[in-house]
Amino acid sequence: MGILEKIAEIEKEISRTQKNKATEYHLGLLKAKLAKYRAQLLEPSKSAGAKGEGFDVMKSGDARVALIGFPSVGKSTFLSLMTSTESEAASYEFTTLTCIPGVIEYKGANIQLLDLPGIIEGAAQGKGRGRQVIAVARTADVVIMMLDATKGEVQRELLEKELESVGIRLNRTKPNIYFKPKKGGGLSYNSTVPLTQCSEKLVQLILHEYKIFNAEVLFREDCTPDEFIDVIVGNRVYMPCLYVYNKVDQISIEEVDRLARRPHSVVISCGMKLNLDYLLETLWEYLALICIYTKKRGERPNFAEAIIMRRGASVEHVCHRIHRTLASQFKYALVWVSLLYFSLFLQ
């Protein structure tokens, strides 16, 4: 039996197993096996095959945004509107066959936008070059999931499932679990909060499935078995995602209002160029970028050129950004904080 068949069999077993106290251990083991098989599926094939056009694009600018979605949802049109790059757009599917990069210039920042080929159901198993597309998406700072507003929620659910199966966790934070394998001593299990979804026995069964018999496990929050498996595997990517519903000019105003009120969602129309400015503002917030302006003594801040940094950056990070030797000669800084900008005076 191949890996795909094993995955399908386990998924069927999970779907027909009732969730209750008596089956939680069985479900935990099934989920652990499912994660193992999915990880094997993503490993590159050892057999030599014909090499196709690559998807590798050098990371540039202040941030990277991956544009993913089903074919013919308006990704190429969106790239052409937001950047100076012309991406071929047509009324037929799979117009884009490789990764096309563009640059969004916004508030002094250069944001790299990647137009990826449309993915289809089963992309995680390699259908329609899905593995290459998803591999590029894992390197992004933010994912824009372009959806056709006329198709309802079907596309969103399918894409979320595909990304979930390859270890991409959208709009979620990393579970607060301390996990460290050891050479001996058995299992050390503790928690700082009451646990309602994981027990010591279930944790032990999941670890045994991964051939781990000695480890330290400390739960700092009430996590699910799936989240504990993510910590064991260790290759999960947690990233913000913006759900962008295109073609809202083709649906009713009531439906537009319903979609716009969904979490992490923005409604636009590339054809009529509607709401693109609000999308840029929201994208800026999701990227968590800030503008820092330098100021010379006795002069006004230089608002012509901004230093783009991540939210939470320190003065030392800014020094390294200006020049790698500046931090060693640094004495003090005067920082003016505004709702609109940061101004920094270095001495």
User: Measuring CA to CA, which residue among 234, 230, 173 is closest to residue 198?
Assistant: 230
CA distance 117 to 87: 11
Q: Which of 223-227, 282-286, 325-329 has the lowest mean pLDDT?
A: 325-329
Which regions of the chain carry the CATH code 3.40.50.300? 63-87+96-171+237-287
DSSP state of 18: -
Q: Is the pLDDT of residue 93 over 50?
A: no
Which regions of the chain carry the CATH code 3.10.20.30? 289-346
Q: Is 76 helix (H, G, I), strand (E, B) or coil?
A: helix
pLDDT tens per residue, range 205-225 = 889 888 999 999 999 999 988
pLDDT of 122 reads 56
CA distance 116 to 130: 10
pLDDT of 155 reads 87
Residue 185 Ramachandran class (φ > 0 left, ψ -120 to 50 alpha, else beta): left
Look up the CATH architecture of domain 63-87+96-171+237-287: 3-Layer(aba) Sandwich (3.40)
98, 147 in Cβ contact below 8 A? no
Arithmetic mean of pLDDT over the chain: 81
The residue with greater pLDDT, 338 or 329, is 329
pLDDT tens per residue, range 219-273 = 999 998 889 999 998 888 899 999 999 999 999 999 999 999 999 999 999 889 9
Q: Is the pLDDT of residue 179 over 90?
A: yes
List % helix, strand, coil for the chain (3-state, nearest 5).
Answer: 35, 25, 40
Identify the CATH assignment for 289-346 out of 3.90.1010.10, 3.30.1490.20, 1.10.443.10, 3.10.20.30.
3.10.20.30
- The distance of Cα 5 from the centroid of its chain, to the nearest Å, equals 28
Give me the amino acid identity at 215.
A
Q: Angle at Cα 198 formed by Cα 228 and Cα 15, nearest 5°?
A: 80
Q: How far apart are the first and last CA of the chain?
A: 68
What's the whole-model pTM score? 0.79
pLDDT tens per residue, range 138-159 = 888 999 999 999 987 888 888 8
Q: Angle at Cα 11 formed by Cα 7 and Cα 14, nearest 5°?
A: 140
